[in-house]
Chain A
Amino acid sequence: MILAEFDYVRPVGLEEALTLLSGTRGSRVLAGGQSLLPGLRTGEDTARLLVDVRHLEELRGIDRTADGIRIGALTTLAELADHPVVLAEAPEVAAAARANGDPQVRNLGTAGGNLAAAGRATDLPVAAIAADAEVELAGPGGRWTVPAEEFAVSGAPAAAVVTALLVPAAGRAAAFEKTADRATRYPVCATAVRITPGGPRIAVTGATAHPLRLRGVEERLRGGPYTTEAVLAAFRAEPRELFVPGRGTSAEYLGHLAGVLAARALQRADQALA
């Protein structure tokens, strides 16, 4: 059971949720709860008030936009993993959603929650970064967007709610690869790639302090070909301190693993493009 005491409220709309969040110190957004509830139990997270947005219809749905897809924050990871539009236009995002946890966690866990819980090395942020996606937020000051790469570092402000993920369409030239920790299913390392006319975009998580883009690797691989040797060499040229050892792994191992996973992803995306 959860020993921590907190209040709970279920707002009827986003506006009420924002009022509650800005009006109460120590209030937290509760969506799927798949990270927050275990965190409250272990004491890693604290809250005085949980504002449950799980039932807000206005934060649901996946829609095509002029240049991509708008994914409502309450889209579950299970919905995201199987959605035909996402599979067709942002396959790395669908694959990253599927890589999270297990079927039951994906049935409750949400896109917005997964992005906001980036500190726990969830799988969606790395795909959002490779896709050059934007995170849409709502707060007392209105609505705004933050690039996924920036959001992976800054997180959501306390009084804000993630409302959507805006993903440019890629066709099939994108892929995701992951080596999961056997016990926790969190990524030891996960990479997401997108091949664009300007060159590849390559992002990594798990092995690094936070999900991030590897611009040096992208530069070295511009124009291809994405042979395993070339990709591994491009990763070897990265500073070793980029990779953060832990859970029995060394920086050298993580750097190699990231290269292997990126090579697989690039080769798959490249084949899909051909």
Chain B
Amino acid sequence: MDLSLNVNGRPEQFSAEPNELLVERLRDGLGLTGTKVGCDTGQCGTCVVRLDGRSVKSCLILTASAAGSRVTTIEGVTTRGGELSGLQEALRQEHGTQCGFCTPGMVMALGELVENTADREAPTEPEIREWLTGNLCRCTGYHSVVRGVQRACSAARTGIPEEISGSAAVSASAGSEPASVSASASGQEG
């Protein structure tokens, strides 16, 4: 089938089989390997991308069904100059990446939450945790990821990245930059 997609602002035209999944087109067809495949059955969330603005699992939609839509992958989140987005930077500062395999999916999923809540009070911790039900981290857990989202929301509201009040673990790292943690998973194979 001859299909077209807009991926990270670029029009793409290609031929695909009816049983091809969007994640296969992105990774194998277009070389955008920042999007990961974890479970391949729609449970782990490493393949989350934005489809016409909404976060979706790219292993749970056919390329043919996505055709004609606007797709944003983790590669489309960073600026052209390679600068991290506010959310990515906040996750980096809070050590919210761990091994990094789940990170692209988390950034793509959480980006929707941050945008959806931009015009109201910052999402609460239970809201952030509920939003993360579709993203599995098998390293250590979600505390640092939650703090990263809180930092991103706080920064978006005040204009400057602020320490999250009441978070003891934050003060341990505040003031000293983590040496070599990068929240950018784009183009890396985890």
Contact = CB atoms under 8 A, between A and B. Distances in A.
A27 B10 CA distance: 34
A14 interface: no
Contacts of B131: 103
Contact of B65 (A6, A30, A42, A102): A30
Nearest to A184: B43
Interface string B10-40: 0000000011110010000000000000001
Contacts of B109: 103-104
Contacts of A1: 19-21, 24, 40
A33 B60 contact: yes
Contacts of A105: 42, 57, 60, 134
A116 B68 CA distance: 26
Interface stretch (B48-56, B84-92, B166-174): B48-56
B61 A37 contact: yes
Interface string A47-76: 000101011000000000000000000000
B41 A104 contact: no
A104 B64 contact: no
Contact of A8 (B18, B40, B41): B18
A54 B65 contact: yes
A185 B21 CA distance: 23
Interface residues of B, number: 31
A208 interface: no
A215 interface: no
Contacts of A78: 54
Given A4-B19, A7-B18, A103-B112, A37 B134 contact: no
Nearest to B39: A38
B50 to A, nearest CB: 10
B133 interface: yes
A99 to B, nearest CB: 11
Given A37-B62, A105-B57, A2 B21 contact: yes
**Most A CB within 10 A of own CB, among B19, B54, B135:** B19
A5 B42 contact: no
Nearest to B17: A5
Contacts of A2: 19, 21
A34 interface: yes
Given A101-B134, A103-B134, A33 B62 contact: yes
B139 to A, nearest CB: 18
**Most B CB within 10 A of own CB, among A30, A78, A102:** A102
A107 interface: yes
B1 interface: yes
Interface of B: 1, 18-21, 24, 40-43, 45, 48, 51, 54-57, 59-62, 64-65, 68, 109, 112-113, 131, 133-135
9 contacts: A6-B18, A30-B65, A37-B61, A102-B134, A103-B131, A103-B134, A108-B60, A183-B43, A185-B133
3 A-B pairs with least C-beta separation: A102-B134, A8-B18, A107-B54
